[in-house]
Structure 1
Amino acid sequence: MKLILTQEVTGLGAPGDVVEVKDGYGRNYLLPRQFAIRWTRGAQREIDSIKRARSVRDIRSLEDAQQVADQLKGVQVRLASKVGDNGRLFGSVTAADIAAAVKDSGGPDLDKRRIEVRNPIKTAGRHEVSVRLHPEVSATLEFEVVKG
């Protein structure tokens, strides 16, 4: 099955990429979650608009990605959240919360879709997340969730 990705799918591609996947994966996972659309000749215009939007958002080059990764290492990020008596949060910390906290701490402006929160963050303390800055550059961001 030939599809056009509308969102970044880890291990498969970025928005605007034309990929060939097995029928079941496309029909049961990518299409229902709107990660992709079916490829047609008329969809080429859609690919072009997605790639234009992505080029505006993306970090331009490998050197820029390395600079942003270095900036992330030097930023002390503290995220204030409501915390119960036993140290558990009311709710959880999302990628959008992390991106806003990095910007508030004087760090670079990150796209929340590039922040990978593998396990839900539901406790106060120090945590790590991975940030995909470029296909070849990934950075680890350490931050602290404090009572606030």
Structure 2
Amino acid sequence: QARLSSSRGHIEHMIHRLSAFALCCLAYALLLEPRPLQPAARAAIAAPVRSPVPLMKGKAKAAKAVKVLLTGDVKGLGKAGELVDVKPAYAENFLVSKGLGNIASKEVIARVAEEAAAAAAAAAEAKKAAVECKASLAQTFGKNGLFIECQVGPNGKLHGSVTAQDVASLIDQRANVKLDKQNIALPSISELGTYSADLKLHPEVSMKVDLVVKKNPITIS
């Protein structure tokens, strides 16, 4: 009878534990079960997301540049007589108001273009003439150089000196080419010998000519 009573108590204890476990499983299942959303919550989820700041559809177009004919030199922009492209505000508030330029009309733009074309043609012609002059001088003086005779003293030193004007005169006489003495560069010449003369025929065309300084056979006492 004592054993029967002990077995019954053990069985009741097991039943109690199983009941508690079953209740825990049921509670967990209820927590995991999806619940229907309230109407307000469903509406909030379905509504599209809107930006709090209205979006710009595009950037504002920059003001179109205008052409200005400069009447004065403007550092970093151009010189008087040139056409430049600038913003309208800069043109009106600075260039025009300061007397440094005027808004160019179609007629002015056309005239400046014609003048620029004429100037470019003249510059090209001047360079072409300088190239031809260089070829002519090279043919005349390229092989033997340009000779100049000078009076020499007993010590072998020249009486006086050879100047750029002397060279310009010789070139004019022997090659029929006129050069300004400012465009002839010479080293210091004080005795007989061969020297190099730099001739600038054009801003983009230059050449060197040998200048041979010889003793003049006619001695002037």
C-alpha contact 1:71 1:108 (8 A) present in aligned 2: no
Taking structure 1 as the reference length, what is the TM-score of the superposition? 0.54
Q: Distance in 2 between matches of 1:74 and 1:86?
A: 35
Q: Are residue 66 (structure 1) and residue 131 (structure 2) matched?
A: yes
Q: What letter corresponds to residue 64 of structure 1 in structure 2?
A: A
Give the Å deviation of 1:138. 0.9
Q: State the number of aligned residues.
A: 92
1:99 is matched with which residue: 168, 176, 187? 168
Q: Which runs of 5+ in 1 are unaligned?
A: 1-17, 21-59
Q: Which runs of 5+ in 2 are unaligned?
A: 1-72, 76-124, 217-221
Q: For 1:62-141, what aligned pairs fall within 5 Å after superposition? A: 62-76=127-141, 77-117=146-186, 119-141=187-209
SS state of the match for residue 160, structure 2? Answer: strand
1:143 is matched with which residue: 211, 214, 217? 211
Give the Å deviation of 1:79. 0.9
Taking structure 2 as the reference length, what is the TM-score of the superposition? 0.37
Give the Å deviation of 1:87. 3.1
The structure where helix makes up a greater share of residues is 2
Q: CA RMSD in A?
A: 2.5
The structure where strand makes up a greater share of residues is 1
C-alpha contact 1:79 1:143 (8 A) present in aligned 2: yes
Task: Report 1 or 2 for greater relative contact order, CA contacts < 8 Å, sequence distance ≥ 6.
Answer: 1
Q: Distance in 2 between matches of 1:125 and 1:102?
A: 19
Moved over 6 A (4+): none
Structure having the higher Rg: 2
C-alpha contact 1:71 1:107 (8 A) present in aligned 2: no
Cα distance per residue 1:82-112 (max 9 Å; x no partner): 1123432112100000111112223412111
Q: Distance in 2 between matches of 1:80 and 1:111?
A: 21
